[in-house]
Structure 1
């Protein structure tokens, strides 16, 4: 199956929680299998014309994204990753989000 890249042109994104290392169940930082880069978790407020939602984005990058709360950003290569988990007869599903970078948007202070 091909990658499900999202069109970010009609949505504005703002950092709602500062980036932190994405940890495994043992408290160790996770690394991407293909690129070997570390993984970071960032919460973004995604606002479109008629809806707003906080999404949890995994950023795979050599260093922690240099962004802070309330900073407008553009997710680079934002990808939706549908998942299903069947444990003990309970089926859960959702969508995970992943990006290769977060590009800060320069704003003029008023």
Structure 2
């Protein structure tokens, strides 16, 4: 299996590095584009699970996702794929991540004080 789908349902993602164009060549500054000619961006995300374990991942996405540092986001269609390369006689390997989109997460607002279904302490002054 070349691409490994990532189940993101139990994870919370926060943008920790702003979108920046992915470079093919550091020396020339050549920017990577996808097969449709869109610039590929790299976004740094923290991925936290319910137990508090946090991993930092760089996720590639076509087109500028328009997210900012500190924003809670959802990577849509996140996949991982193994890679390896030989550089200066040394073997490097890892897992790279790509998403179809990175969008702002839908936040659920906490119930406000006094709203239906919330407990509100009541005190009364009796004179």
Please tell me the TM-score bracket, short chain as reference.
0.7 to 0.9
Higher relative contact order (CA 8 A, sep 6+): 1
Aligned to 2:44: 43
The CA deviation at 1:2 is 4.9
Q: Is the Cα–Cα contact under 8 Å of residues 2 and 81 in structure 2 kept in the other structure?
A: no
Q: Is the Cα–Cα contact under 8 Å of residues 19 and 65 in structure 2 kept in the other structure?
A: yes
Q: Show structure 1 runs of 5+ residues with no match.
A: none
Q: Give me the TM-score of the superposition, normalised by structure 2.
A: 0.75
Which structure 1 residue ranges, 4+ long, deviate > 6 Å from structure 2? Answer: none
The CA deviation at 1:78 is 0.5
Aligned to 1:80: 80
Q: Give me the TM-score of the superposition, normalised by structure 1.
A: 0.85
State how 1:20-39 maps to structure 2 within 5 Å. Answer: 20-25=20-25, 26-32=28-34, 34-39=35-40
Superposition RMSD in Å: 1.9
**1:21, 1:88 → 2: CA distance?**
26
The CA deviation at 1:106 is 4.0
State how 1:1-110 maps to structure 2 within 5 Å. Answer: 1-25=1-25, 26-32=28-34, 34-50=35-51, 51-61=53-63, 64-107=64-107, 108=109
Select the structure of larger CA radius of gyration: 2
**1:90, 1:23 → 2: CA distance?**
22
